[in-house]
Structure 1
């Protein structure tokens, strides 16, 4: 089974590694409560097209071990970089969804660009959605704490009640089958209460504003107009303004779950971004050799 040990504390972490070993490398980091399975509408077609698709189950999620500690952004970023080291990956495109965008950003700013060539931030909560020095117009922390109590009392009901907003399924074109909804809620429930509360704490504490200007690789920012979990103007638009080399793509009627509702479009945009980056890397390498 594809496991490796966290460089921080030895926690056993699960990942998938699909597609040809010599293909362009894309490494996926999932949303809160979810593991590698959420990316099936991206990893399968990309791997079939010749890309090497790696996806991590963060600690406490999916098939990874569930320790009590380590639910802070630095540790999660170190876990992710540990995977890149374990597989000796280079020229990587890191792709994160929701809080996964915080992890890929911190992985880059904490560990540098020796292995990472570009980032894709999909429906990100970065640079932060809860009120903080960097996000003074964020959600009131008291509102977050009250929601935490609702979540603690009945996680299953909390997930089920948020599905329509998550997918913006009240809007045309965003229909998701009841069977898929049940499947996704079951995946979320497979993340135990400690890990679930831990990752909620990471979301609540996220304030990446100061990091963004130092990001020195190309960044693709993908977001939906109707994302109620991470409103466009507070997240993606801010990231695009603060990152020097960024491209913002806005999906009309897209919600937070656009990896499903806009899955084909997202896959195509990721493929275009990876290919353009690889071509640029080759051109730069040629220019350096000529010099």
Structure 2
């Protein structure tokens, strides 16, 4: 296994981030969602390197085989971890791709570290610009929704993860866009996260305001969201991104759930390849 050092915890222990580095060419860095790890990018890691791209995917602290410190699950720290990945591998002209929670890391990195080493950014099913409903964010999600999630995880995190996976991929009594094997695989990824990381990151993506972060981004940007996303509803996220990232290209996937890196893998792969290579995506009726 390959690891990158991302500082130390409060006890002086090294924090190591598990990563994979595939292919050669223009670098693309994939940042996974909550509560999974970089293995979630299975279909992207298997396809993007075939198209002249060097693809790096790493696991956020607290999850998978990365170190699991007790602290450090705020977005400033997570953005610093991303910086450690880019610096250690000396990546230049990077296309940063953030899925769900990972979109927050993209936004915070771009403002906190001035967009160093980054040429393009992609937000996929992202939690940006700001999920929590507040007086100045009336279109957000009510705080009680996140409080209920937190309580469920404290009571029975594994039971929560099993139920969460169904909404994540749009599984219902009448709809089965993924197999039980995919649900099991996703559950196993989530179960490898620590309790503290799972709770801490949920608090971070629920409560962090990325609106000012987004307004610092001037590089080409792509926003992708499924219009049947029950986990991060499009009306609270994708549809609001152009208020703060006005130059971004916005692509919606008809009928797609949150976990579109699986359910719409071919479409997503094509759009990521096109954008990383040329800075544009095709406009057709296949969306």
TM-score (norm 2): 0.91
2:110–2:213 contact (8 Å) kept in structure 1: no
Q: Does 1:194 align with 2:196?
A: yes
1:134–1:210 contact (8 Å) kept in structure 2: no
Question: Secondary structure, in 3 states, of the residue corresponding to 2:95?
Answer: strand
Matches within 5 A, 1:189-268: 189-268=191-270
1:232-259 deviation per Cα after TM superposition (whole angstroms, max 9, x unaligned)? 1220121123213200000000110100
Question: Residue 283 of structure 1 aligns with which residue?
Answer: none
Quote the Cα distance in structure 1 between the aligned partners of 2:143 and 2:171: 28
Question: Residue 6 of structure 2 aligns with which residue?
Answer: 6
Gap runs ≥5 in structure 2: 281-287
Question: Residue 19 of structure 1 aligns with which residue?
Answer: 23
1:94-144 deviation per Cα after TM superposition (whole angstroms, max 9, x unaligned)? 001111000011111111233001111000111122223552232222332
1:94–1:118 contact (8 Å) kept in structure 2: yes
Quote the Cα distance in structure 1 between the aligned partners of 2:177 and 2:47: 21
Matches within 5 A, 1:1-291: 1-7=1-7, 9=9, 10-20=14-24, 23-132=25-134, 134-170=136-172, 175-277=177-279
Q: Cα offset for 1:170?
A: 4.1
Structure 2 CA distance for partners of 1:265 and 1:79, relative to 1, 3 Å: same
Structure 2 CA distance for partners of 1:43 and 1:174, relative to 1, 3 Å: farther
Quote the Cα distance in structure 2 between the aligned partners of 1:133 and 1:121: 25
- More helix by percentage: 1
Structure 2 CA distance for partners of 1:126 and 1:156, relative to 1, 3 Å: same
Quote the Cα distance in structure 1 between the aligned partners of 2:51 and 2:221: 22
RMSD (Å), alpha carbons? 1.8
Name the count of aligned residue pairs: 276
Structure 2 CA distance for partners of 1:48 and 1:212, relative to 1, 3 Å: same
